[in-house]
C-alpha cells in the first residue's frame, strides 16, 4: 500500500461556477452512432418512440446531459440541412464522404435531433457547414429553426410538424477547418468565419452565439493568428466571436482493452495534459480578449483507440475500460479547475463511437465505465468549483492560503500524474469531492483536509473493477459499475478514505 496522500480542500477559494455545459456531449453521423445507436426504424422490432431508441433514452436521461453537439465533426462540413427535413421517404440518399463513403439516408435530421435533445433535456449545439456550404445556406437554416413570424422557411417548418421555433442558440461555424473542414490557414478561416457570422441572424426571443473553429491540441499558432487576423481592418472583429472551440484527443497507448501498467500511466498522463491545452489557449485568448467575452470551448475530447476487430475502420467503434473512465474523470476534474476559463466541453462521442457512454448491439444496450463517471460527477454541475490541492502543490500553513500558479503555455505532452487527482465544488453548504486513484494495482489512503470547516457525515460512492483492464460487455454488462453508497465520518476537518486501485470516487458531505 502507498503512503497517505494528503488533499487540501479550500472552500473559501472559489474558482468559478462549473457551467453544466462542461459535462456536454457530442453525436456525429459516424459509424453506428446515429443509425442503430440512436435512431431505428420506427416500425421495426427495437422499442422506440418515433424512431428514437427507448433503451438509449432511458439510459441517458439520468445523466442530465446539458448540451449535445451535432451533426459533426467532419460530417458537418459536408452536411446540407435541407437533405434532413421533410418526408423521410423523400429525403435523398447521400454518401458520408468523411467516414468510409457510408450511405447517409438523412432519416435523422433537424427535427429528429431536436426531438432527441428534448427527450434528454439537452441544449442543442449545431455545427453549420462552412467547408462546402455558403452563408446563405446557414442563414436559411437559422431562419428555419428560429423564426417565429411568417416567412416561407417558417411555414416550411410548420408544415413539417413544428409550430413553434426551435430557438437554437449555439451555432458552430465550421469544424476542424484547419483539416477536414477545408485545410484553411488561420487567416483564411478568420475571414470566412466573419463572412458567415455576419449572416447568423437573431430573431425575437432567439439569441444566437457564433462559435469559431479553434485549434487542434497545442497549436498556439492557430489561436494567435486567428485572433490577430480579427484585429486587422477598420474594426475589432473579435466581437463577432462568442465561442472558440479547441479539440484535444489524448489518443491511446496499447489498445482499448490490451495494455500494461506503463501504458496505463502513459494514457492517464496524456489525459492530464489537457490542463496545458486549456491554460495555453486561454492565456493567448486573454491577450486579445482580456475581458473574456469569448468563451473557450473544448467541443471534442477523449481517448482514441484502434478500432475493435471485426468493425469497419471508418466507424471508430472501440471498447471502453476502467482506464477510459479514469481519463474521463481526470479530464472533468481539470475542467472544474478551469471553471473560470473553460465554458463548455463535449466528449467524443455518445454511442458506439470513440469514448462512448453507451454501446448498443441489436436490441441490447450497455453502459460503459465512462458513462458511470458522468453519472458520478453530476453533482458538480452548476456548483462552485473550489481549490483542491494535493501534496505536490504548495500550501502556506501560516497564512492559510494556497499557493497557486498556472503556467501560461504548457505543452500538450504527458504530465506527471499525481497519485490521487481530483476536484471539489460547493453548493448550499454541501461539498462534493471527486478523486481518481491513478495507481492501477494498489489501493491508496487519501487524507482529506477541509480548510476552515469540518466534515459532517459523508456519502462515498466509487467506480472500480476487479482488474485495471475491466470493461463491460454484452455478456457481462455490469462488471464495472458504481458501488453502493457508504457512509463515512470525519474527525473535525480530517477524513481518511481507502481508495481502491484504478478507481474513481465521489464524497459528498455537509460542511460545518
Active site residues: 176, 300
Beta bridge partners of 441: none
Task: Please give the grid coordinates belonging to residue 241.
Answer: 466571436
User: Quick one: DSSP state of residue 39?
Assistant: B
| Cα 403-413-401 angle, rounded to 5 deg | 5
Contacts of 301 (CB under 8 A, 6+ apart): 247, 248, 249, 250, 274, 331, 345, 346, 347, 348
- The span from the CA of 211 to the CA of 398, in Å, is 45
Q: Are 327 and 14 in contact (CB under 8 A)?
A: no
Pairing status of strand 209-216 against strand 243-251:
parallel
- The span from the CA of 165 to the CA of 171, in Å, is 15
Task: Please give the grid coordinates belonging to residue 202.
Answer: 437573431
Task: Please give the grid coordinates belonging to residue 193.
Answer: 468565419
- The span from the CA of 60 to the CA of 394, in Å, is 40
Q: Are 309 and 317 in contact (CB under 8 A)?
A: no
Task: Please give the grid coordinates belonging to residue 16.
Answer: 468559478
Pairing status of strand 503-511 against strand 455-464:
antiparallel
Task: Tell me whether the omega of the peptide bond preceding residue 40 falls within 30 degrees of 0, making it cis.
Answer: no
- The span from the CA of 443 to the CA of 498, in Å, is 7
- The span from the CA of 55 to the CA of 361, in Å, is 12
Task: Please give the grid coordinates belonging to residue 128.
Answer: 453549420
- The span from the CA of 184 to the CA of 194, in Å, is 14
Q: Which of 471, 73, 74 is nearest to 308 (CA)?
A: 471
Burial class (CB in 10 A: 0-12, 13-18, 19+), 391: middle
Amino acid at each position: 500500500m502507498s503512503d497517505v496522500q494528503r488533499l487540501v480542500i479550500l472552500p473559501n477559494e472559489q474558482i468559478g461556477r462549473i457551467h453544466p455545459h462542461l459535462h456536454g456531449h457530442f453525436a456525429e453521423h459516424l459509424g453506428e452512432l446515429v443509425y442503430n445507436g440512436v435512431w431505428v426504424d420506427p416500425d421495426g422490432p427495437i422499442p422506440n418512440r418515433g424512431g428514437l431508441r427507448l433503451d438509449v433514452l432511458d439510459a441517458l436521461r439520468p445523466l442530465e446531459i446539458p448540451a449535445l453537439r451535432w451533426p459533426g465533426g467532419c460530417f458537418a462540413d459536408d452536411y446540407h440541412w435541407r437533405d434532413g427535413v421533410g418526408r423521410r421517404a423523400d429525403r435523398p440518399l447521400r454518401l458520408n464522404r468523411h467516414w468510409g463513403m457510408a450511405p447517409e439516408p438523412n432519416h435523422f435530421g433537424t427535427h429528429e435531433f431536436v426531438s432527441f435533445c428534448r427527450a434528454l433535456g439537452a441544449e442543442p449545439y449545431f455545427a453549420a457547414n462552412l467547408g462546402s456550404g455558403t452563408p446563405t445556406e446557414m442563414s436559411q437554416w437559422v431562419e428555419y429553426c428560429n423564426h417565429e413570424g411568417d416567412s416561407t422557411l417558417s411555414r416550411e417548418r410548420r408544415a413539417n410538424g413544428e409550430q413553434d421555433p426551435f430557438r437554437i442558440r449555439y451555432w458552430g461555424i465550421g469544424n476542424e477547418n484547419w483539416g477536414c473542414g477545408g485545410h484553411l490557414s488561420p487567416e483564411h478561416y478568420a475571414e470566412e468565419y466573419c463572412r458567415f457570422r455576419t449572416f447568423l441572424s437573431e430573431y425575437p426571443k432567439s439569441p444566437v452565439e457564433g462559435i469559431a473553429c479553434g485549434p487542434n491540441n497545442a497549436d498556439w499558432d492557430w489561436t494567435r493568428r486567428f485572433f490577430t487576423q480579427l484585429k486587422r481592418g477598420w474594426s475589432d472583429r473579435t466581437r463577432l466571436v462568442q465561442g472558440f472551440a479547441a479539440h484535444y484527443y489524448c489518443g491511446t497507448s496499447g489498445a482499448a482493452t490490451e495494455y500494461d501498467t506503463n501504458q496505463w500511466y502513459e494514457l492517464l498522463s496524456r489525459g492530464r495534459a489537457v490542463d496545458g491545452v486549456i491554460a495555453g489557449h486561454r492565456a493567448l485568448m486573454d491577450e486579445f480578449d482580456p475581458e473574456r467575452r469569448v468563451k473557450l470551448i473544448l467541443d471534442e475530447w477523449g481517448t482514441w483507440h484502434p478500432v475493435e476487430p471485426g468493425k469497419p475502420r471508418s466507424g471508430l467503434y472501440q471498447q471502453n475500460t476502467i482506464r477510459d473512465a479514469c481519463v474521463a474523470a481526470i479530464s472533468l476534474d481539470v475542467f472544474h479547475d478551469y471553471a473560470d476559463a473553460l465554458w463548455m466541453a463535449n466528449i467524443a462521442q455518445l454511442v458506439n463511437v470513440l469514448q462512448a457512454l453507451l454501446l448498443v448491439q441489436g436490441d441490447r444496450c450497455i453502459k460503459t465505465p465512462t458513462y458511470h463517471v458522468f453519472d458520478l460527477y453530476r453533482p458538480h454541475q452548476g456548483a462552485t468549483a473550489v481549490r483542491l490541492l494535493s501534496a505536490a502543490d504548495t500550501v502556506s500553513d501560516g497564512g492559510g492560503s494556497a499557493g497557486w500558479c498556472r503556467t501560461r503555455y504548457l505543452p500538450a505532452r504527458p504530465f506527471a500524474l499525481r497519485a490521487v487527482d481530483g476536484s471539489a465544488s460547493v453548493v448550499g453548504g454541501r461539498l462534493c469531492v471527486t478523486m481518481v486513484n491513478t495507481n492501477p494495482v494498489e489501493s491508496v489512503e487519501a487524507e482529506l483536509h477541509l480548510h476552515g470547516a469540518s466534515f459532517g457525515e459523508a456519502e462515498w460512492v466509487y467506480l472500480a473493477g476487479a482488474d485495471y483492464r475491466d470493461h463491460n460487455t454484452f455478456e457481462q454488462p455490469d462488471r464495472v459499475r458504481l458501488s453502493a453508497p457508504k457512509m463515512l465520518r470525519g474527525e473535525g476537518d480530517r477524513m481518511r478514505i481507502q481508495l481502491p486501485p484504478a478507481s474513481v470516487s465521489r464524497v459528498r458531505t455537509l460542511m460545518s
